[in-house]
Amino acid sequence: KESNGPTDCYAAISQVDRLQSEPESIRKWREEQKERLEQLDANSRKQEAEWKEKAIKELEEWYARQDEKLQKTKASNRAAEEAFVNDAEDVFPGTEWERVAQLCDFNPKSSKQAKDVSRMRSVLISLKQAPLVR
């Protein structure tokens, strides 16, 4: 293969010529800089590995907390459903509004819903106080 430009052999020779022609102080600085950069790279790799381990540990803890919260929510929902089913069996005439009132949260500050249900709440309260006459 013939080429007009420098080949790898010529690049290596020019590299050696350049290193031989530069002063001792520059060569020493270049070596120190190379060592310093290698040390910084090693430290950054070590720190990155520590961060990854910490992130994995925190993620596992988060999943454990989420799972625990989910289990608590499931248990409370099951208990509430069981209580609701037991109360649904005890149907007496004239207790409909008491049962509706038990299902509704009439405290607007403790409501966790994002929707505005104040009108519905006021309608239910007015119906409870003055039921419709048929």
φ, ψ of residue 131 in degrees (nearest 5): -65, 155
Position 133 scores a pLDDT of: 75
How much is the pTM? 0.46
Name the token pair of 102.
């038990």
User: Which contiguous run of DSSP H or E holds residue 114?
Assistant: none
Name the residue ranges covered by the structural domains of the chain.
Answer: 8-90, 92-133
Per-residue pLDDT in tens (0 to 9) along the chain, 134 residues? 455 555 566 666 666 666 667 778 888 998 999 999 999 999 999 999 999 999 999 999 999 999 999 999 999 999 988 987 887 777 677 677 777 777 776 666 665 656 666 788 788 888 888 877 76
Name the token pair of 22.
């530069």
3-state class of 95 per DSSP?
A: coil
